[in-house]
Amino acid sequence: MKKSILLILILLFNCNLFSQSNLEPTNDLENNYQGVLKDYFDNIFPLLFDGLSNKPLARFTAMPSFSYENTLSVEKDSLEEYKMIFHRCNESYWYAERKSKVKIIKDSITIDSEFAQLIEKLFKKAVYNSKKPENEMIGFDGEFYYFTILNNNDNLSTGMCWSPNKDSRIGKLVEIGEFLIDLTTKKSNDFKITKMRMEELIKEFD
């Protein structure tokens, strides 16, 4: 049954596998889904976002088909410090038999304002350039990514992609999101390389 629903998931969200230059615009993540997937999305996003700011500078959310759902939020706290905060489920919420038992594992680090604002700038460039794809094709490994920013009206705007080509502009954007997660979970400390790659990708969106 779940494999059938995963196939529906694939068919519902089309993207160009071979060349993806832009995110697809989407609505508020917590109020965007109907039908067989509504219950899943109505529960997973509030679980992931619990305790996070309602107005992040930038947010990267990944929904893998066969791994743990997760989100990275870039925020400024009440002490005017910039943080990267990472939340992930301790098991796949999709496959969990007892969804009420799924817990969130949390990591966070403090970052400087320049690095935070660079992330914000890149995500805004990507989200503001969101477009419906001209050529629609089905991908094969089923991984959804959402990029969220605080827009000029002080509301959240989100663009999404599905399994982009790694060499495409959006593939590079996803890779940077994964680099940011590695920095937050201390699997990497290479801020210099990540900063350089963000600067390079910002130029591609100009």
User: Would you state the structure tokens that stand for residue 126, as one six-digit string?
Assistant: 């990507």
Instruction: Confirm if 59 and 74 have CB atoms less than 8 A apart.
Output: yes
Q: 106-117: per-residue pLDDT in tens?
A: 999 999 999 999
Looking only at the bridges linking them, the beta strands covering 24-26 and 70-76 are unpaired
Q: 131-174: per-residue pLDDT in tens?
A: 887 765 544 457 899 999 999 999 999 999 988 888 999 999 99
Q: Does residue 196 or residue 21 have the better pLDDT?
A: 196
Q: What is the DSSP letter of 23?
A: P
Lowest mean pLDDT among 8-22, 32-46, 102-116, 121-135: 8-22
Instruction: Confirm if 129 and 22 have CB atoms less than 8 A apart.
Output: yes
- pLDDT, position 140: 45
pTM (whole model) above 0.75: yes
Residue 74 identity (one-letter amino acid): V
Nearest CA among 169, 139, 150 for reference residue 19: 169
